[in-house]
Amino acid sequence: QKEVEQNSGPLSVPEGAIASLNCTYSDRGSQSFFWYRQYSGKSPELIMFIYSNGDKEDGRFTAQLNKASQYVSLLIRDSQPSDSATYLCAVNMFGAGGTSYGKLTFGQGTILTVHP
Amino acid sequence: GAVVSQHPSWVICKSGTSVKIECRSLDFQATTMFWYRQFPKQSLMLMATSNEGSKATYEQGVEKDKFLINHASLTLSTLTVTSAHPEDSSFYICSAPGGGETQYFGPGTRLLVL
């Protein structure tokens, strides 16, 4: 079983729709969870992180965490063509909220395409 | 925000040569840096943790004698791929943790070994 697993893609949504990206993780002791966006040929850029159960919203992005189910998701509202990228879920299996060790385990990524 | 740079951004070398990649934190100090490798259409895989003033910690399956890491100062870590071979061709990315949960990624170095 992979340590961090993302829903298989690619995912294609029309412009303006909601894109839903999912991620599960195997280590129940994981503390911090991250969503990164990676454009082709570029390094990842952080979208948001979450470490408490529930929802965390930032603009068009909402991260949801359910530690009991070992599940984290990212919703992108009003998707735009510029959101087309690979989305990487990452888990910090050693850190705790506010004291990140920084060692991340990444999922395999989900390719999102937003078509006009 | 904090910036991490990498040099070079891309490099092409002949098989058997060694290649050095630099990772610098430009406006903050980093006692720890991370080196990742990403093959085409795959995710980032952590190779090693670079520790200022001490030996690097390598992930399982990563040859420490092939991938030499030196954390020379609080702002510089280097990764040297020794005797590079075509299978080492990849996208190498470093990162440095910032405050709280933030981690800053460098822009990456694309290595092509002929």
Residue from the list A43, A100, A102 with its beta carbon closest to the beta carbon of B107: A43
Q: Do B93 and A43 touch (CB under 8 A)?
A: yes
pLDDT, tens only, B51-103 = 898 899 999 999 999 999 999 899 999 999 999 999 999 999 999 987 766 78
Nearest alpha carbon to residue A40 among A112, A96, A91, A105:
A112
pLDDT at A102: 65
Residue A37, both tokens: 């966006």
Mean pLDDT by 10 residues, chain A (116 residues): 82 96 90 92 92 94 95 97 96 56 84 95
B101 has a chain A CB within 8 A of its CB? yes
Question: If you average pLDDT over residues B27-33, what whole number do you get?
Answer: 90
CA-nearest of A15, A24, A20 to A76 is A20
